[in-house]
Amino acid sequence: MAGNKLSLVKEATQFMVQQMSSVDRLSVVSFDDKVQDVYGGSGDMNFMTSGNKKIAAAAISRLVSGGGTNLSAGLFRGIDHHQQLAAPSNEGEPAGSADRVRSVFLFTDGQSTTGLTDVRQIAPIMSAMLQHAISPKIYTFGFGADLDDAMLNAISEEGNGQSIYMEDAESIPSSFASALGGLMSMAAQNLELHFVPKEGVAIHRLETSFQKTPQSAGSIKVAIGDLVSDEQKDFLLELDIPGLYVADVTEPVMLVQARYLDISHRCMRDVSFEATVARTADTAGLRQSHPLVLVSPCTLV
């Protein structure tokens, strides 16, 4: 897997990591013509503390395309990670671990070129492995227009999971919400943000990968789409702000309006908040406009 497909896989994996809590455990396996433990390993699935999230994210960012795709070996390694973690010899796994929710997320285009390449060979081995007391559900995430639907559907069906198609980066939150159900429930749909500068303030630049639409009076609307619970989006804005003749004040510079469908309450919501900047003695006395950078997080719970 290479190019845009690999980039999308890395973005989806990074998103998954950020949604995990400190009581969740993770290992990451890569597979081309060989299989490698990218993060964690057999019997060593790490708790997703803030520190471990950074380590996992760094490991994922280093993934590169290799030759071939040994899909079956990667899949079997992922299943084995769960079963080795829960083995009696593994003292790091707490009592009652057999009751934990366990999943294998298989990110692939389904184009298996090495190892077992026929799902009729893969399915029976999967079935035998999943007879174990520790039996994770298998979710397949397909990437690219040339994916093998039949392969991915058969694997997810055998693993009591789901087969999900990842079309683009915007589909990542809804795709994971579909896979994880109540664990990552959808909080909002069709979210739209409206950045409205205060009088005398101008938006010089707004950095985002989402669709932007200029509005009247220098305001900008951004179409976000869907968000899952606790998902956070950051927006980098560069503003032109007029000078003041007083120092050490907090000045409102922008109104941020949000409109979205509240899934849990089944109604449209309109919320807003003021974005402010702290004016210090070093900048407050400037009479000409000057650029400042504002990071405005938007979190829906």
The per-residue pLDDT for 143 is 85
Angle between helices 71-85 and 119-129 (to 10 degrees): 0
| Structure-token match 């964690």, residue found | 40
Contacts of 31 (CB under 8 A, 6+ apart): 69, 70, 71, 73, 74, 77
Looking at residue 24, what is its pLDDT?
A: 86
DSSP 172-222: HHHHHHHHHGGGG-EEEEEEEEEEEEPTT-EEEEEE-SSEEEE-GGG-EEE
Question: What is the predicted pLDDT for the residue at 180?
Answer: 62
DSSP output for 25-69: EE-EEEESSSEEEEESBTTBPEE--HHHHHHHHHHHHT----SS-
**What are the Cα distances from residue 238, in Å, to 42, 68, 75, 264, 271?**
46, 44, 45, 35, 23
As a whole number of angstroms, the distance between CA 268 and CA 206 comes to 26
Looking at the chain, the number of H-run helices and the number of E-run strands are 7, 15
pLDDT, residue 184, reads: 56
Helix (H) or strand (E) holding 106: strand 103-108
- How far is Cα 241 from Cα 291, in angstroms, rounded to an integer? 7
Give the Å distances, CA to CA, from 166 to 7, 61, 72, 297: 12, 19, 20, 26
Distance of CA 253 to the CA centre of its chain: 30
> What residue type is assigned to position 55 of the chain?
I
What are the respective helix, strand and coil percentages of the chain, to the nearest 5?
30, 35, 35
Checking DSSP bridges between strand 137-143 and strand 163-166, what pairing results, if any?
parallel
pLDDT given for residue 197 in this prediction? 95
pTM > 0.85? no
Burial class (CB in 10 A: 0-12, 13-18, 19+), 99: exposed
225 three-class SS: strand
The pLDDT of residue 41 is: 76
The tokens describing 128, both together, are 């035998």
Mean pLDDT, contiguous 10-residue spans, the chain (301 residues): 78 88 89 91 82 94 87 95 73 50 85 90 94 89 84 90 84 73 66 95 89 94 82 84 71 93 85 86 48 37 26
Angle at 298 between CA 105 and CA 293, to 5 degrees: 115
Question: Whose structure tokens read 């998103």?
Answer: 15
Longest dimension (CA), the chain: 76
The answer to whether the CB of 37 falls within 8 A of the CB of 29 is yes
Structure tokens at 166: 């990842």
